[in-house]
Chains A and B, each alone.
Chain A
Amino acid sequence: MELVRVEQLVKRYPKAQVNAVDGVSFEIEAGEVFGLLGPNGAGKTTTVGVLTTRVRPTEGHASIDGIDVVADPVGVRAQLAVVPQRSNLDRAISIRDNLVFHAAYHGVPAKVRETRADELLEQFGLADRSSEKPDFFSGGQSQRVMIARALMHRPKVLFLDEPTTGLDPAARLFVWDRLRELRDAGVTLLLTTHDMHEAAALSHRVGIMDRGKLLALDTPEALMRSLAGETTLELAADQPADGTLVDALAALPGVERVEQLQGSPEDGDAFRVRLYLSGDAAPLVAPAAAVLGEQGLALNDVRLGTATLEDVFIDLTGRSLR
């Protein structure tokens, strides 16, 4: 069942030169975890803003569970919860009260919100701090409180804007674990991130955004497969070489594409290439070294890798994610 629908969405802010969101379309199924991956300023937060009724679209349509965000914003608000990039916890009240009042804003009955608050505080490792105000909470702790708060009214869709940006690695893993639990419990999530590991680790499908446009949309595996190969072999040699060598490498069996990279002569690798392969990389090391040898080059660095979403992004935009 399709829960979120975005059609030809355009958002242009007053006085802006370009559209912040420029003709984006996608759908999210119930129970799906959907990641929007892209650098800062790609239009991810604006897209989420339209779906959460905080941003008015310039053109196009967006709906949640069939309810249009412009025609019935109140109806849409009843379906969703938002975990923002920066803490917006209520500082005047304890974190438990933050959860309980949030539930009250969404019409959860009094008894239910008390027990649910205790359950969620327990699950998010916050039970022992439940009576504290959020003033002195770290970024990771605030993030946990905000996710717990968002779950208080059992939203149909949970929007998470850069859920782990600025968190230390341990806090990040904790948040990832909680999000995986939600995914396994069938909660529909839309998360934005500029971290390809996060997108790949959590999402069923990833939309890659840049400059307001959705450039690609598929499962992380399919996106990485869309690059010539699933695995890569990176080689460096001591002397510069010309296109003949690249052609020779491309002719090796299993090599789907060769990308010449910027070498750094001061480190001794005047020549650096990345081979995208259809199969395993290891068996190709020796034949590739032999090709280099035939051209009089000595191999001085070998790196085996698998293609990442970052590679997909670079392939689509010619730029890196950061």
Chain B
Amino acid sequence: MSAAAVQLDPISRGEVFLAVLRRDVYVTWKELPAFLAQVILQPLFLLFVFGKVLGSLGYTQHGYADLLFPGLLGLTVVLTSIQALAFPLVAEFGWTREIEDRLPAPMPTSYVAAEKVLFAMLRAFVATLIMIPIGYAILGHVPWQWKNVGWFVAALVLGALVGAGIGLLIGTLVQPQRINIVFSLVFTPLLFTGCTQYPWPSLARLRWFQVITAGNPMTYVSEMMRGALTPAVPHIQPWICLVVALGAIILLMTVGVRGFYRRAID
């Protein structure tokens, strides 16, 4: 074989980026059942127990499922995005070192981070959109407003970006041996303070908790979903959600990308 150096055709950075993205999609496709189980089970059970079981037994008011469903979409898009980014990144920087094969690829280091973000978002979109037919199957109907589809898409994209930002932060700051404890410490509070199971304005009766939930960026994703799908339920104005979510994304991404550079280059 002739392994002598041969001048390659110049390759565009975009092509390299797409090749790395294609690898991630390829791996997910090969593990599709595992991926679906991983992302669907939690919202599925939440929807089933809170939306169907408790309602059937008369413990929740009529209409609670409609209130819960948009919140669950918000939860799914944010949490899936976090998981899709943080878990692999901690492993790749920590023990598998797989990222070392992508960092020397001929594209800027920021593209490697951007690919991670985009891929996490794609996974989050798939997981969230699947919840719609599942909602139909479990509840018999789901709240939907075609006139608000723009807000729904905005909530989807912003939710995925919020999750990716948190994932990038966890993925670059957390040591591999601490990932389990970080997940318990981060996931559980995120899950229950993100206004998934209750609309934010209704917390006025529980003021201190309302203040806490206002600090969780997921709250604004859930509320935006509510504004889009169930506008009759009291919710934070979508444009406020938009501004706060954008601010959170800018902050999370700035710190996350900086962390990524610190891990990638000594």
Contacts and interface: CB of A to CB of B under 8 A. Distances in A.
Interface of A: 13, 30, 46, 49, 52-56, 73-75, 77-78, 80-82, 84, 86-93, 97, 101-102, 104-108, 119-120, 123, 149, 151, 153-157, 181-182, 185-188
A185 B11 contact: no
Interface stretch (B93-101, B128-136, B163-171): B93-101
Interface residues on B, range: 35 or more
B104 A185 contact: no
Chain B contact surface mostly: loop
Contacts of A154: 3-6, 8
Contact of A81 (B13, B104, B109): B104
Contact of A74 (B1, B26, B106): B106
B100 A84 contact: yes
Interface stretch (B15-23, B63-71, B225-233): B15-23
B105 A105 contact: yes
Given A105-B102, A119-B1, 11 more contacts: A46-B266, A52-B104, A55-B265, A80-B104, A88-B100, A88-B101, A92-B27, A92-B30, A105-B19, A107-B106, A187-B5
A19 B80 CA distance: 43
A201 B266 CA distance: 32
B265 A54 contact: yes
Nearest to A82: B104
A86 B22 CA distance: 25
A120 B1 CA distance: 9
A78 B11 contact: yes
Q: Which of B1, B6, B109 has the most CB of A within 10 A?
A: B1
Contacts of A153: 8
Contact of B5 (A30, A75, A101): A30
17 contacts: A54-B104, A80-B104, A81-B104, A86-B97, A87-B97, A89-B101, A92-B27, A93-B30, A101-B19, A102-B101, A104-B19, A104-B23, A105-B19, A105-B105, A123-B1, A156-B5, A185-B4
A53 B23 contact: no
Given A93-B23, A105-B16, A186 B4 contact: yes
B266 A13 contact: yes
B4 A106 contact: no
Shortest 4 CB-CB distances between A and B: which pairs? A107-B11, A88-B97, A78-B106, A104-B19
Contacts of B30: 92-93
Interface string B9-44: 111010110011011001100110000000000000
Interface in B223-266: 264-266
B141 to A, nearest CB: 39
B5 A155 contact: yes
Contacts of A46: 266
B5 A77 contact: no
Contacts of A54: 103-104, 264-266
A91 B96 contact: yes
Nearest to A159: B104
Contact of A106 (B11, B31, B264): B11
Contacts of B4: 154, 185-187
A93 B31 CA distance: 11
